[in-house]
Chain A
Amino acid sequence: MAKYIIKRILWMIPVMLGVLIIVFTISYLTPGDPVITILGSGYTPEKYAAKAAELNLDKGYFGQLGSYIWGIVTRFDFGKSFYSNLSITGEFARRFPITAALGIFGCIIMVVLGLPLGILSAVKQYSVLDYTLTVIALVLAAMPGFVLAILGLVLFGVRLRWLPITGLDTPKSWILPLATNAMPCVAMIMRQTRTNMLEVIRQDYIRTARSKGLSERTILWKHALKNCLIPIITVTGGMVAMVMAGSIITENIFNIKGMGTYMYAAIMQRDYPIVNGCVLLIAFIVCCVNLIVDICYALIDPRIRARYASSGKKHKKKAHKEVT
């Protein structure tokens, strides 16, 4: 298992390199000369050459790619913004923790709310509670995040004045951004959990568990839940990407100085070094989430664990099937 994890981590290197090359190439090929954009009209050839050299844009494709990779690998340096001349790495260090906190809390809310509500909904199938939760989930899942955010803002921020409408300065101010970011995911996790749970409790092995005289609670927690989690882990992994995409909107609406606003502004200004850096960071996070998802699978499902173990040490393959 440890071997498998190390292998997976090593695999991330070529994947990240691939993403890096693709991202860099796209921005390289994008029409428009950043130097002219920055200098505006009325520059001299000397000024142009100086700026191009400063931005590393005078070296040709491979030269630029090489020094970009070198900078990231050796100094964790993503370059500088075309416009503000601020170091991107420094900006990341300031903004990423905010977005990460929003994302992590969002995922926690998503699991802590979505999972139990889904289970409840399944166990009490066709009850009033089930129908109510289903309707709420459908509405939340169907409503785009920004609509939810604006509705929340207008109702709780402007009308009722319960919650602040911008920033993240007080604990209270976290409520609206977190809620609007996490709610659609809560709804989806809930629906998924309900479906899986209903599927699992129809299985033969649950009937076997009942025939043993186990209490409904033991059946639910010991026999059904883990089986039901396997597909949910996949969905949760996917949700992480959704939460991150959602953070662009949320942060802009609530004016939060995180990665979302940074990236949004950079895209609007065509500040390619920032965009590239953000994309790389997102790719890295997605890779990590995938790894975590796979590890979770293995922890829960012995069939998958066995596959990992055997792919790690093929030579030690045991003949498992004994003739009965």
Chain B
Amino acid sequence: MSLLEIKNLSIHFVTRYSDVHAVNGVDLTIEEGKTLGLVGETGAGKTTTALGILRLIQKPQGRYESGEIIFKGKDLLKATDDEMRSVRGNEISMIFQDPMTALNPILTVGDQIAEVIHLHGKCSQAEANERAVKMLEMVGIRAERAGEYPHQFSGGMKQRVVIAMALACNPSLLIADEPTTALDVTIQAQVLEMMADLKKGRGTAMLLITHDLGIVAENCDDVAIMYAGEVIEYGTLERIFHNPKHPYTLGLFGSIPSLDKDEERLHPIEGLMPDPAALPAGCKFHDRCAYATDECASCEQELAEMESGHKVRCARVMKGEI
């Protein structure tokens, strides 16, 4: 059984004026101890998917339209609020996009880490404080700084604090939403390396959201490419990097993708992603796709298995035309 299985997840943001289809029928699987990379342009619905797993979608506008999120055999969407709270921070924890604002400015970093340990660890406050300090040391922050406040730390150190907080209760799944995007390039690698080490030592599975193909290549076992709220290609790192199929993935990699070449950045593709409040019929990518036919504009595409461990959402690829 997989650690996490997301089936047909759809999340919409409904307001009086618009109906944003942020996530549409997403299927993802994360195996115990493995890392899944989730890649896509801005607005593709990556953060929404991640928040959806923890049921942290903004209320009241955010709504689950359909789907199941099976974590360790239990559907999180059917869990009670209490059950959900015992999952959050304990079994699944999350690192957010921006470390600058992720910490509470008026509580010491030690407090903020100890809080989650005390809550889930069933230990005394003193013991929680002690363990919080250990966590800080593990991410390379000196013990005596536990009593300091977030404004006394640099961005990179704040992100380390956030990572320490996320790993404090030994979660089985860590969701990292662009954990290094807000950081200086020079410390991105360090932070990622540290995360990879900690994760390996503890056997934590990870959902790594990023724009950066270099990061995916170095950290992930599987890759899912997201476009307009859908997963359009999904497979092992090897398959996606050596044998990408979907025209959008091909576009992302540029013409000749390679694991060895310095393909760090996503290549821009002509045109814009459709507005999630007014998605087109048929394939969501057809108006930017060089291979699109009339059929693409009218028929819904399914994410179909091409080979074992490689799924693609494209009618022409499935027919072997590309």
Question: What residues of B have a CB within 8 angstroms of the CB of A226 in the complex?
Answer: 106
Chain B residue with Cβ nearest A203:
B101
How distant is the Cα of A212 from the Cα of B84 in the complex, in angstroms?
11
Interface centre among B105, B148, B149 (most CB of A within 10 A): B105
A203 proximity list for chain B (CB < 8 A): 101
Q: Is B132 an interface residue (CB 8 A)?
A: no
Q: Compute how far the CA of A21 lies from the CA of B321 in the bound complex, rounded to whole angstroms.
A: 92
Q: Does A306 contact B (CB under 8 A)?
A: yes
Most A-side CB within 10 Å, residue of B87, B90, B94: B94
Stretch at the interface among A33-41, A105-113, A147-155, A297-305: A297-305
Shortest CB–CB separation between residue A299 and chain B, in angstroms? 10
Q: Are A211 and B152 in contact (CB under 8 A)?
A: no
When each residue 195-230 of chain A gets 1 if its CB lies under 8 Å from chain B and 0 otherwise, what string results? 000000001110111111111000000110011000
Q: Are B154 and A321 in contact (CB under 8 A)?
A: yes
In the assembled complex, B263 has its CB within 8 A of some CB on chain A: no
CB atoms of B85 and A214 under 8 A apart: yes
Q: Are the C-beta atoms of A213 and B85 separated by less than 8 Å?
A: yes
Q: Which residues of A contact B239 (CB under 8 A)?
A: none
| Distance in angstroms between the alpha carbons of A301 and B102 in the assembled complex | 17
- Chain B: interface residue total (CB-CB under 8 A): 37
B22 contacts the other chain (Cβ, under 8 Å)?
no
Knowing A205-B101, A303-B151, A321-B154, the reply to whether A213 touches B88 (Cβ < 8 A) is yes
CB within 8 Å: A-B pair count: 85
Residue B128, interface by CB 8 Å: no
Would A301 and B154 count as touching, CB distance under 8 A? Answer: no
Residues B106 and A301 in contact, CB atoms below 8 Å apart: yes
When distances are taken between beta carbons in the complex, the residues of chain B under 8 Å from A213 are 84-90, 116, 119-120
In the complex, A208 Cα to B90 Cα: how many Å? 13
Shortest distance between the CB of A39 and any CB in chain B (Å):
63
B151 touches A306 (CB 8 A): yes
A169 at interface, CB cutoff 8 A: no
- 1/0 per residue, CB under 8 A from A, across B135-173: the answer is 000000000000011011010110010100100000000
Contact A227 B152 (CB under 8 A): no
Q: Is the CB of A212 within 8 A of B149?
A: no
> What separation, in Å, do the CA atoms of A213 and B101 have in the docked complex?
18
Asked if B105 and A211 make an inter-chain contact with CB atoms under 8 angstroms apart, the answer reads: no
B256 within 8 A of A: no
CB distance from A259 to the nearest CB of B (A): 37
User: Would you give the shortest CB distance from A243 to chain B, in whole angstroms?
Assistant: 28
Quick check: B160 and A302 within 8 Å, CB to CB?
no
Q: Check A227 against B96 for contact (C-beta < 8 Å).
A: no
